């Protein structure tokens, strides 16, 4: 599989997970969209950082050695 397809699949996967985090955080906040949005932003930031490290930073760091 070429790099373009891999990047597209990773982006699609991240988008789906971000959407699920947002929906889950709205339910977690008791249906309040604003509170859910705040929780979703924090959860997305944590997930996004972990996702970036897992998918991009760590593999390229290992390649540099």
| Mean pLDDT score, 46-65 | 75
When pLDDT is cut at 50, 70 and 90, the band that residue 2 belongs to is confident
CA-based Rg of the chain, rounded to a whole angstrom?
Answer: 15
Going from the C-alpha of 64 to that of each of 49, 60, 61, the distances in angstroms are 21, 6, 5
CB contact set of 56 (below 8 Å; sequence gap of 6+) = none
pLDDT tens per residue across span 16-53:
887 887 787 777 777 777 777 787 788 888 887 888 88
Tokens of 26: 């709205």
If one counts every other C-beta atom within 10 angstroms of the C-beta of residue 42, the result is 12
């Amino acid at each position: 599989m070429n790099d373009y397809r891999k990047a597209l699949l990773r982006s699609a996967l991240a988008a789906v997970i971000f959407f699920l985090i947002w929906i889950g955080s709205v339910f977690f906040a008791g249906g309040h969209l604003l509170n859910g949005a705040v929780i979703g932003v924090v959860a997305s930031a944590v997930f996004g950082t972990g996702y970036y490290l897992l998918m991009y930073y760590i593999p390229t760091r290992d390649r540099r050695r």
